[in-house]
Structures are given as structure tokens and as C-alpha cells.
Structure 1
Amino acid sequence: MSTPSGTGPAKIRLRHLQDAKERGRPFAMLTAYDQFSARVFEEAGIEVLLVGDSVGTTVLGHESTTATTHQDMLTFTGAVARSVSRPLIVADLAFGSYQVSVEEAVRHGVDLIRAGAEMVKLEGGSAIAPQVRALVAAGIPVMGHLGFTPQSVNSLSGHRVQGRDTHAADRLAEEALALQEAGASAVVLELIPAHVAERITEVLHVPTIGIGAGPACDGQVLVWQDMAGLSGFHGRFVKTFADLRSDLRRAAEAYRGEVETRAYPTAEHSFE
């Protein structure tokens, strides 16, 4: 994924993810919703940034991603897209923006591309294959999403692992193949047994990206606030690589303390 010396790192494209799968080289994806996190992740070499509808729960304070609107997605996608140049930018189609009709899916997909996304993600299998086909026909790359699908949290009776029994596992594999046949260029697999994700990864020729789906997927994704220890969420599938929540609290406490004791600001921070 490099370019000739002096030209800088290559822009990440879909072909790079496909090449990574074929070479057996795992790649990393993180959510991003603002310029600061996006730029840091670009500097860290994260190859794919997902502007997820999880922004509703991680930033906007909603209890479910179903509350995230299409306008929310446009706002945060634009913020990320304007801030970075190298990572591939994927944006979620919000709940209700693609289920009603193929035309609605394409219209909202076009909006996200105009906002700066380079690929859109939507949840579901064969039921949304017509939407996938229409988006791809319109020149919009698509990432699928199977297993636990957060927009369907109510019908799935909460955050539960999917595909545990043989029939359910077979169904997931069939749905993944249906997405691929419809033109999806990658598929997220969320909260499914590791052996099921490995099986799906082996049968698909497009990359799989796991979240709570074991180590065999071609790539991995986490919500960045979980990964960095800011959200306080410690699900089994999450590894926290920092403790930003504690660091930020200590910084805020130190700031408050210095303000209260007039230790800050000093002459150093003042103007004549």
C-alpha cells in the first residue's frame, strides 16, 4: 500500500482491502465522527474510518442507533471527510433511510457520497439485496453488515450473539453470499461465533470485517471510544488500549483545582 518514495502514503481504496484479503494481511477499521479523532487515526495508520450511526449513542446521547438521523450522518461524515486524505471513509445509512425503497436507498446513498463518504454501509442480508444492487449500479460502493445488526436491536431482543445453532449459522453464510452476489464489496460480521465468522470469511471472496466475531476475519473494527477506554464499555469483544476516561477526568480535576486556587491562569497565560 505504498507509493514511490517522495509521494507519500497511498490513498486507501477498495482494491487495497481486496488485496489485503488475498494476501492474508489483516487491516484495521475504527469509527470516527470528528476532525480530531479522524486525524489522529490517520496518523496512526488506520486504513478505514467508519462514520457509524453509533454516533447517536456515543456522541449524541441516544439509547439506540435507531435515533440517528440521515442529517446526523451527513454532518459527521462531512466532518471526517474534510479532515483526512488517506483512509477509506465508510458511512452508515441511517435507520429508515434505505428500508422503505430502492429509490430512497440510492437517494440517501448519493447524499452521503456528496458529503464525503467513499462507501456506504447498510444492515441486512438478502432482504436488502435490491438496495445493494441499485447502489452499486449508481456507482456507490457498499459494505454489508450481518449478525447482530444494531438498527434491529428491538426485533433481536437486545444485544445478543447471532448464529449460535447450525441453522442460524447456515443462514448467515447464505445471507453473506447474497450480499456478495448483489455487489457488496465487504461485509461486517458482528457478534457471531468465531468459527462461523471464519467459515463466512473462507467462502466469501470479498473482505469480512469483524466486531465480536473472532480473529479469522480479514479486518477488525471497534468503536473508538470503547477501544480507547473513554466510553467505559467493557464488552467481552472489546479490548481497551488506553484509559482516556481516567486521563480526561484527571485533567479536568487538575484544571478545576488550579482555577479554584488561582494557580491558573498566571502571568504566563495573561496579556499586558
Structure 2
Amino acid sequence: MTVKHALNIVKMKKMKQEQIPLTMITAYDYPSARLAEEAGVDLILVGDSLGNVVLGYDTTIPVTIEDMVYHSRAVARGAQHTFIVTDLPFMTYHGSIDETMRQVRRVMQEGHAHAVKLEGGAEIAHTVQAVVQAGVPVLGHIGLTPQSVNQIGGYRIQGKDQADAERLMADAKALEQAGAFAIVLELVTEQVAEAISKELAIPTIGIGAGRGCDGQVLVFHDVLKYAPDYREKKFVKTYADIGEQIRQGISEYVNEVKKRVFPGEQHVFAADEKVVDGLYGKGKVEG
């Protein structure tokens, strides 16, 4: 079996030049990361979306650096040959550079990530530059930025008018100039995302940003419809419905236990007759 080698940021830029799309998927634990790697994804994002998806929060805002380090470390164990990017969570990179570096160090050293992702545009470019200069690859993230959902008025499509389009373009250029190796474009109109992708020398990775990006990212649980109360999303295509399979499987298990169908003969271990005699007395266990 051929061992997969993780991408690096130089190869990703070359893939853009050669028009080879990048594939990214979120993963939050060992088994999902292992399966994603075996399926051949280029990058894994340990997103702070884990707050919504696996921790039961309404937004990503409650997610802590401890959450991110814990889940990043699990993903790194599962996908040892895949490039892993881990989110810096809410308000961990808006203070002093020293404080930001402490959070970055934890994600890299304890979480075993290869890169970090920061939400925001021109307003955080100086932070991105400092992190890059410290030797850490940075993935930018503009458009809909979930950590700012309360400020931007909800989960709204970005780039719908000229002023917003120009702002997004300026943010993308600022992040590229600061040294980001790629930029996630989330819920951006297709035309604006395509224009940004053509303008930049670094790859763009879209989620709800149309067909003109240099790559795509989706959430593991959306791709597989793995949720108890899954909500359809226009920008998502689901490729399997394992949520329903899980529900049916567990339901069948419960029913079989209640009816004493499980465990069956094939699931039990037999002791030697002498052991049985010692427990109950010879001749007491008959037919």
C-alpha cells in the first residue's frame, strides 16, 4: 500500500497554478479524521464549528482554546499523513501579539496542527503577518465569519453589492500580502468569489462560494448527513445518509435486547464443563 504524503503550502500554490482543485473537509475526532484521510482529502480543518456540530452550542462563540487543542490532537492521531489546519477560536487573536502567539503555540505544539485559521480581513492582517513571520502557516477566512455572526447580523450571504464586493477583494489582498497561504471564502456570491480567486496568487477554498474557487470545503457531518436534526443547506451536497443508518441500527439493537434476541449463540463464550460443575455443583445444570 502506497503511503500518502501530506501536502505543503508550496504544493498547494502549485496546484492552483495547474488548476487542480483542493479538497478540504472538517473533522473533529480520530475516526472521522482517519476515514477522511483514507478517502483521499487534501486538507483537514479542525473547525470551531465543532461547537455547533459536536458540542451542541448554537454558535461557535463558546468554543475555547482547550476545545480546539483537544480535538486537534485527536484529529492529528487519526490523519498522520494529511495537512491539518486548526481554528483559533473566538477572541484568542484580537489582543496583544504575545497573547495570540501563546494560543498559536498551544495549537501547534499540543494540538499537532500544521497551520492555523483566523477569521477576518484587513483588520487582522498585522496579526496574520506576525504569525507567519513566526514560522506558522496561516489560512485566512473571509465572507461569512461565524465568530462575528452577532456583529454582521446573522448568517447572511456576502458580496451582494458593489461596496461589499470591493471590501471582500480588499480583505483578500490584505491577507495575501500578510502572508496567508490560502483563504476560505464562506457564503460569498459566486461572481465575487471567482473574481477574488483570479486576482490572488494563493488558493481560495470555497464553502457556499460557487464554482470559481480553487478548492472546496464542507463539514464532515453535512457531507454524510450525520446529525439527529439535520437541516438542509443550499450550498451543501450530501453524499450519504449515515444519520438515518445509525438511528435504524441502534433502534434494531434496542429491540433485539428487549426481545432477548441479542446476544445470540454466536456471541457467547462457553466454559469447560469442569468450570460449570465447580460453580453450580455436578449434575445441577441439566438441559
Which category of TM-score, normalised to the shorter sequence, fits these structures?
Answer: over 0.9
Alpha-carbon offset, residue 107 of structure 1: 1.4
Paired position in structure 2 for 1:201: 197
Q: Does 1:172 align with 2:168?
A: yes
Alpha-carbon offset, residue 14 of structure 1: 1.4
Paired position in structure 2 for 1:3: none
Separation in structure 1 between the aligned mates of residue 14 and residue 140 of structure 2, nearest angstrom: 18
Equivalent position to 2:130, from 127, 134, 145: 134
For the residue of structure 1 that corresponds to 2:12, the secondary structure is helix
Separation in structure 1 between the aligned mates of residue 56 and residue 90 of structure 2, nearest angstrom: 16
Equivalent position to 1:186, from 159, 173, 182: 182
For the residue of structure 2 that corresponds to 1:21, the secondary structure is helix
> Partner letter of residue 107 of structure 2?
L
Structure possessing the higher radius of gyration over alpha carbons = 2
Separation in structure 2 between the aligned mates of residue 157 and residue 268 of structure 1, nearest angstrom: 58
Equivalent position to 2:260, from 259, 262, 265: 262
Paired position in structure 2 for 1:246: 244
For the residue of structure 1 that corresponds to 2:240, the secondary structure is coil
Contact 1:102 1:130 in 2 (8 A): no
Equivalent position to 1:111, from 106, 111, 117: 106
State the identity as a percent: 45
Equivalent position to 1:150, from 146, 158, 170: 146
For the residue of structure 1 that corresponds to 2:44, the secondary structure is strand
> Partner letter of residue 169 of structure 1?
A
Query: Could you report, residue by residue, the CA deviation over 1:56-96 in whole angstroms, capped at 9, with x for unpaired residues?
Result: 11001111000100000000000011122221100000101
Gaps of 5+ in 1: 1-5
Alpha-carbon offset, residue 9 of structure 1: 2.6
Alpha-carbon offset, residue 242 of structure 1: 0.6
For the residue of structure 1 that corresponds to 2:151, the secondary structure is coil
Contact 1:42 1:87 in 2 (8 A): yes
Contact 1:163 1:169 in 2 (8 A): yes
After the TM superposition, which residues 1-272 of structure 1 pair with which residues of structure 2 at under 5 Å, given as runs? Answer: 8-114=3-109, 115-231=111-227, 232-272=230-270
> Partner letter of residue 66 of structure 1?
I
Alpha-carbon offset, residue 10 of structure 1: 2.2
Aligned length in residues: 267
For the residue of structure 1 that corresponds to 2:116, the secondary structure is strand
Contact 1:124 1:146 in 2 (8 A): yes
Runs (4+) of structure 1 exceeding 3 A deviation are none
Moved more, 11-20 or 188-197: 11-20
Alpha-carbon offset, residue 101 of structure 1: 2.2
- TM-score, L = length of structure 2: 0.91
Separation in structure 1 between the aligned mates of residue 74 and residue 31 of structure 2, nearest angstrom: 10
Alpha-carbon offset, residue 7 of structure 1: 5.9
Separation in structure 2 between the aligned mates of residue 7 and residue 260 of structure 1, nearest angstrom: 46
Give the CA RMSD over aligned residues.
1.0
Alpha-carbon offset, residue 8 of structure 1: 2.6
